[in-house]
């Protein structure tokens, strides 16, 4: 479970993490800006939607139990993000962060986060124009174009919209969507999206305007904001991403800080599972993001003409590659051209390169595409090894396309998977989470968890888990198994993992044993060696019988019967008391007593 606090977010870029899927749903209620108040955020604020948060329950958690958890915080679900299990949750005003923190500590909640408002990752260059598009030669694109130009690849631009009437864009446009208004209004409300689109697929080699990277790729405009300043909510980004995945996008570019969003990561994994890849910008704060790798999103830092990381580019262990992002010539909303800077433009340069790689071999899997992008990157600045400034290196389009000449070997290696918690052979009650670890030579797509062969949940994000309600199964030993899948469809199976379910409370034993002396009755006259026989019974089991004569313990046994020979010649004539006691495992006891008359045996005549 991940908790994203406001002071962990840099609003100067975009987003990243990973997705989960069990019972995928649809958005039940539209998300509009009229539902909450928005302040115009300053450059590095952590503004978020007021009165709502984003929450995803563990796979397998019932709707009833989920609503019960929300009810404790006076919260309720407005519906789900498009095609995801992530709910938009109404919460009391000014309680957003407190409820996120509380839900993040609930084991039945996969993640909770505020619906952060993020801004485009753009830096306006000091110089108005640059003499040439230096980045094209730096990435060796003239060589790459001899093999691939992006034909047949659709790149979704999740941004402020695109000016589809721009003379250098119009012929490459396809239908898009507005994830805020939930319609096809995709005109550029701010100007950022048209610049991003031009880097990817402006019409090229036409004696006009600028030269893009993927000349013949198609641009799918996904407008994720209706605000004139270009700021967008994570929820609108996630909804736009799933729409793009469902409508044929091969690559998606998000030039915003989204890498740390669980909701956007879920949407990115949804797209990845449908055969697409998501690229995002690292951000422009010049800071270490203190992040870890996000397998669902390719995060990009920015470099300059000398291949150095720009001073303003964010960096960290979540950065996968770097790309030119300073002084990049592209299209503008007004119909013209300008040079722009920011990780906002390093990101589409990478997305466009992926379009070239994919167009060179349409049979490549997502994992193969990403591996080629990273393996072919120029590593001269990072000493040949991964580092937080450049990731796997600066994108090299010619080297990447060259690696695609031969069709790669089909992945036939199955993932490995093992259940890790709760502790094996432990006793469990009520509702609890089953967790598994899985690994693959490429990447794990999903893990399904089973109880006695019945599916309880499917997860697409590590650690892979599902919620199991043991109240729906009989007490006793339950066999849990996991199945892991990769993008090729290879399946790996775990060994059986046993847990003991014990929901029915043990009933306290309050019934005492019954015990009797079977061969004597009260008042019997005895003499000589007298046998005493005792028998006891119990509703569970007799654990001990004791025999007393005149208050002295004579013998005992752990069996349910007892026999004792009493030499009455050694005691005085008259009445004596015999007591026998029986015990069970619960400590219950019972006793019976009789009196017998000892009489001396008369001597016969000689």
CATH number at residue 382: 3.40.50.200
pLDDT reported for residue 81: 92
CA angle at residue 270 from 267 to 276, to 5 degrees? 105
Whether residue 107 lies inside any domain: the answer is: yes
The answer to whether 560 and 545 are in contact (CB under 8 A) is: yes
Q: Are residues 157 and 193 in the same domain?
A: yes
Residue by residue, what is the 3-state secondary structure of 294-331? CCCCEEEEEECCCCCECCCCCECCCEEEEEECCCEEEE
**Pairing of the two strands 154-159 and 251-254:** parallel
Q: How many Å from the N-terminal Cα to the C-terminal Cα in the chain?
A: 101
CA angle at residue 557 from 551 to 559, to 5 degrees? 135
Query: Which residue positions in the chain have pLDDT lower than 70?
Result: 1-46, 121-132, 405-410, 602-606
CATH number for position 562: 2.60.40.10
Digit-coded pLDDT (tens) for 565-580? 999 999 999 999 999 9
Short-list 452, 254, 275, CA closest to 362: 275
Q: Is the dihedral of CA 26, 28, 33, 39 positive or negative?
A: negative
As given in the structure block, the two tokens for residue 78 are 């407005």
The answer to whether 236 and 177 are in contact (CB under 8 A) is: no
Whether residue 307 lies inside any domain: the answer is: yes
Q: Are residues 154 and 245 in the same domain?
A: yes
Q: Are residues 480 and 342 in the same domain?
A: no
Q: If DSSP codes are grouped into helix, strand and coil, which group holds residue 429?
A: coil
Whether residue 461 lies inside any domain: the answer is: yes
pLDDT reported for residue 408: 54
Which residue in this structure is represented by tokens 């199976």? Answer: 493
Q: Which residues pair with 567 in a beta bridge?
A: 529
Annotated active-site positions, please? 159, 192, 344
Residue-range definition of the domain harbouring residue 312? 134-402
Q: Are residues 112 and 139 in the same domain?
A: no
Whether residue 603 lies inside any domain: the answer is: no
Domain boundary among 454, 480, 501: 501
For 33-95, where are the alpha helices, taking DSSP H only? 63-71
Residue 126's Cα: distance from chain center in Å? 42
Whether residue 529 lies inside any domain: the answer is: yes
Q: Are residues 165 and 251 in the same domain?
A: yes
Rounded to whole angstroms, the Cα distance separating 256 from 196 reads: 11
- Give the CA count within 13 Å in the CB-facing half-sphere of 284: 23
Q: How many domains does the chain have?
A: 4
Rounded to whole angstroms, the Cα distance separating 472 from 452 reads: 12
């Amino acid at each position: 479970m991940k908790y994203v606090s406001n002071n962990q977010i840099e609003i100067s870029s975009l987003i990243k993490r990973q997705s989960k899927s069990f019972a995928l749903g649809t958005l039940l209620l539209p998300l509009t800006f009229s539902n909450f108040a928005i302040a115009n955020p300053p450059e590095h604020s952590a503004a978020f939607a007021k009165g709502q948060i984003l929450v995803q329950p563990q796979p397998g958690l019932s709707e009833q139990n989920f609503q019960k958890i929300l009810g404790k915080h006076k919260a309720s679900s407005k519906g789900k993000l498009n095609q995801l299990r992530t709910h938009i949750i109404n919460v009391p005003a000014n309680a957003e962060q407190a409820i996120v923190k509380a839900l993040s500590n609930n084991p039945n909640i996969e993640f909770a986060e505020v619906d952060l408002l993020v801004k485009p990752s753009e830096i306006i260059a000091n110089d108005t124009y640059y003499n040439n598009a230096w980045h094209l030669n730096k990435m060796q694109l003239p060589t790459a174009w001899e093999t691939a130009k992006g034909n047949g690849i659709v790149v979704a631009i999740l941004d402020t919209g695109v000016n589809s009437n721009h003379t250098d864009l119009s012929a490459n446009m396809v239908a898009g969507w507005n994830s805020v208004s939930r319609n096809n209004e995709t005109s550029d409300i701010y100007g950022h999206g048209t610049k991003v689109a031009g880097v990817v697929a402006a019409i090229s080699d036409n004696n006009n305007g600028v030269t893009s990277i993927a000349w013949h790729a198609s641009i799918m405009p996904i407008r994720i904001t209706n605000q004139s300043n270009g700021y967008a909510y994570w929820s609108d980004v996630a909804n736009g991403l799933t729409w793009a995945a469902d409508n044929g996008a091969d690559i998606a570019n998000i030039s915003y800080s989204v890498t740390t969003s669980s909701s956007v990561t879920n949407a990115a994994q949804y797209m990845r599972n449908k055969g697409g890849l998501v690229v995002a910008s690292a951000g422009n704060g010049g800071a270490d993001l203190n992040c870890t790798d996000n397998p669902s999103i390719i995060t990009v830092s920015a470099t300059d003409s000398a291949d150095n990381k720009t001073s303003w580019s964010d960096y960290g262990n979540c950065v996968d590659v770097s790309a030119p992002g300073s002084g990049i010539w592209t299209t503008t909303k007004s119909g013209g051209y300008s040079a722009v800077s920011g990780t906002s433009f390093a990101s589409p340069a990478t997305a466009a390169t992926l379009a070239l790689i994919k167009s060179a071999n349409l049979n490549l899997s997502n994992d193969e595409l990403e591996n080629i992008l990273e393996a072919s990157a120029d590593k001269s600045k990072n000493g040949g090894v991964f580092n937080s400034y450049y990731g796997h290196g600066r994108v090299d389009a010619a080297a990447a396309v060259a690696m695609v000449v031969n069709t790669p070997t089909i992945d036939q290696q199955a993932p490995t998977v093992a259940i890790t918690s709760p502790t094996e052979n432990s006793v469990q009650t009520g509702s609890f989470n089953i967790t598994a670890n899985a690994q693959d030579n490429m990447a794990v797509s999903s893990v399904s968890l089973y109880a006695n062969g019945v599916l309880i949940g499917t997860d697409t994000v590590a650690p892979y888990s599902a919620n199991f309600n043991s109240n729906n199964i009989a007490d006793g030993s339950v066999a849990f198994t996991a199945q892991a899948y990769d993008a090729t469809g290879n399946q790996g199976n775990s060994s059986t993992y046993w847990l003991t379910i014990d929901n029915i409370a043990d009933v306290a034993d309050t019934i005492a044993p019954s015990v009797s002396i079977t061969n004597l009755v009260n008042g019997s006259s005895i003499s000589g060696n007298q046998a005493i026989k005792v028998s006891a019974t119990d509703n569970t089991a007799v654990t001990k019988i004791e025999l007393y004569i005149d208050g002295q313990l004579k013998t005992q046994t752990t069996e349910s019967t007892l026999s004792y020979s009493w030499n009455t010649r050694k005691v005085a004539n008259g009445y004596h008391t015999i007591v026998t006691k029986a015990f069970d495992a619960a400590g219950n006891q019972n006793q019976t007593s009789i009196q017998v008359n000892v009489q001396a045996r008369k001597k016969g005549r000689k």
